[in-house]
Amino acid sequence: MQLLRKLSGQDEKMQTLRNNFEALDSRAVDMHDLIRDMALKMTENRFMVKARLGLMEIPHLQECAGNLEKVSLMRNNIQEIPCGWSMRCHSLSTLILKNNLLVSIAESFFKHMHALQVLDLSNNHRIQVLPNSISDLVNLTALLLAECISLAFVPPLGKLRALEELDLRCTIIREVPQGVDMLVNLRSLNMENTYRLEKIPSGTLSRLSHLQLLRLGRTPVEIQAAEELEGLTKLEELDVRLGDVHSFNRIVKFLQHREVPLDKYLLQLGVPPFDGKIYSKLISWRGENISKGEDVSFLPYDLEALIIRDQWFSSGCFCDVFPSFWGNARRLQFCKIKNCRGIESIVSGCSCFTFSSSSRNEEEIEVGDDQLGESCNAPFQSVQKLILSRLPDLRGLIRWKKLAGSRLGFGVIAPHCTFSNLRMLCVSFCDKMKRVFTPGLQLPHLEWISIIDCNEIEEIFDSGRTHLSELNRLWLSCSLSEFESICEGMETNFFGNNYDMTFILPKLKRLHLESLSKLEIICEGIMVCDSIEEINIVDCPKLKRLCLSLSIDNNGQPSAPVTLKKINITRKDIDWWESLEWDPPNTKDVLQPFLRFHPYQSWKLFHTLAGSSC
């Protein structure tokens, strides 16, 4: 009681508590019963809170009804507000009826609520029509109808000039409520997941000059004219589906030239994504053909996630279609490319690494001086998660090129910063890929490798053995000085026994290899990954060695990494496990205790979840 008297004597604190009461109630924040009772005691006759009481109808109000400011009847079982029913609450500013079972609301219900500012009817799944009397609530600042999944009609809203927030997401309205274009003070318009919406009248959005939040994601409506959005200079969050590549490019330029960047955006071409939503700045492109030339598209500099699906690329290199990868999109963290034809590589070769091209008869490709050597703007330098699935023409992550004018025709690969922040790589159903990682790539942050159903893969880490024979030929045909100049700058040693080569992956935790019928070796040499926790291998019949480097204890005996938890195979792969080659031979005895058997289908599910949750 002493605490109650102290609180009741502090008018400023009590007023703050009153102001925050609505927010606490509507968000269902748990509070101690004593604190809640004190809050209700201090605000009695002004606030009515009857939430989660199983009420079947609107409670009868006492004489205090005229003084009520805020009423919360959320999370009850109220089904109907019958005809003739009216709450004579002239001071009521907030009414929360969310999460009830409302089917109908009487026209008379809002008759005496002229001061109402916040009306929350969200999550009433059965209501289909709202009463026309809502149109007369001229002081309304927030109308919240989200998740009213049967709501098909909202009355005209043109009189609600004070309205700042309109939430219609997950309703089944077919058209924008009449008069929305007159809501000059509207700051938040959310029509996400209104999957029956047929159109947005031309000029509607451009008139809402105070909009800060606009969400039209997962709707069939496309914004055909970028001009509709370019005038919304106060935007902070944008989620829209664009009608064509031209509109997409204009919006990207609009984003680039804004003085204050958007806090969040999702730009969609085609069917919207079902993944990548954890990122604040996302572009999804599906079903709209991408080609090199007039449709060359640029990406925002602050882009965090990119999803490309169901395309036919006219250029063999992904980065050639999006040239902004060379100096833009520096914050890209997540990239998913799925079901796209024409992509032969993700990055084109342009670095100081030099290797012999397989044929001198191939057309020479010009490589500019600005693309050679180390680059702070290396493409995919910031990418942490890369998902590649169903790319039938993909041959590798990096495409080899040749330096024009080179007598020996030596090619180059990507800057060494490329993929330097990669943490997860998932590759599946890429039937032309033979090797995953090219020589010279530095992968200090790689934690997860998942390769599945790639029928031609022979090797995970390319040690450069495919180029060794060409180097030997050059050794015989060139002078010593020529040969030294050719090899100058190489960071990977291709001489001597390839089995002595070491691939260091300091943060690798999971290695998942599945249904790789031609995989012969993970790498030539050994793979040092002292952080490894889990190895999953199934249906890789030609794989002969695990190539896992083990530390040597004080007795000169190999020991497993302290982080290793399990090596998963299926029971049908027992014979394969027994046939593996071990170096030294007692390596098998060290790893045998970690062997586990798992159902094949559970791994398929594991891979699917891994790819979709990134």
For the chain, the structural domain boundaries read 423-489+501-613
3-state SS assignment for residue 310: coil
Averaged pLDDT for residues 181-208: 94
pLDDT of 450: 95
Both tokens assigned to 45: 């006759």
- The predicted structure's pLDDT at residue 389: 96
Which whole number is the average pLDDT over 276-297? 70
Stretch among 6-10, 176-180, 496-500 having the lowest mean pLDDT: 6-10
Q: Using one digit for the tens of pLDDT, what is the confidence trace for 369-402?
A: 333 333 455 778 899 999 999 999 999 998 765 4
Q: What per-residue confidence (pLDDT) applies to 583? A: 80
- C-alpha to C-alpha distance for 508 and 444, rounded to whole angstroms: 9
Whether the predicted pLDDT of 4 surpasses 90: no
pLDDT confidence band for 2 (50 / 70 / 90): very low
* Mean pLDDT, residues 403-429: 69
How much is the pLDDT for 388? Answer: 96
pLDDT at residue 407 is higher than 70: no
Return the percentage of the chain with pLDDT > 90, whole number.
45
- Beta-sheet pairing, 354-356 with 410-412: antiparallel
Helices (H), 282-345: 318-321
- Does residue 6 surpass a pLDDT of 50? no
Does 254 have pLDDT greater than 50? yes
**Highest mean pLDDT: which of 161-165, 202-206, 261-265, 481-485?**
161-165
| Predicted confidence band of residue 274 (pLDDT cuts 50, 70, 90) | low
Please report the pLDDT score of residue 17 as a whole number.
39
Tokens 């009850």 sit at which residue?
Answer: 76
Kindly state the average pLDDT of the residues 420-440.
92
Cα 495 → chain centroid = 42
Q: Higher pLDDT residue, 308 or 502?
A: 308
What is the b/e burial string over 116-140, where b = at least 16 CB atoms within 10 angstroms of the residue's CB?
bbbbbbbbbeebeebbebbbebeeb
The C-alpha atoms of residue 573 and residue 244 are separated, in whole angstroms, by: 50
- Is pLDDT larger for residue 175 or for residue 311? 175
216/180 Cα distance (integer angstroms): 15
The DSSP bridge pattern shows strands 142-144 and 526-528 to be unpaired
What is the tens place of the pLDDT at every residue in 62-89? 545 668 899 999 999 999 999 888 877 8
Token pair 């007159």 is at which residue?
A: 182
In this predicted structure, which of 118-122, 156-160, 363-367, 399-403 has the lowest mean pLDDT? 363-367
User: Within 10 A of 589 (CB to CB), how many other CB atoms are there?
Assistant: 11
Work out the average pLDDT over 191-198: 94
Strand partners for 559: 551
pLDDT at 400: 62
Single pTM value for the model: 0.79
pLDDT number for residue 479? 55
- Is residue 455 predicted with pLDDT exceeding 90? yes
Strand partners, 365: 403
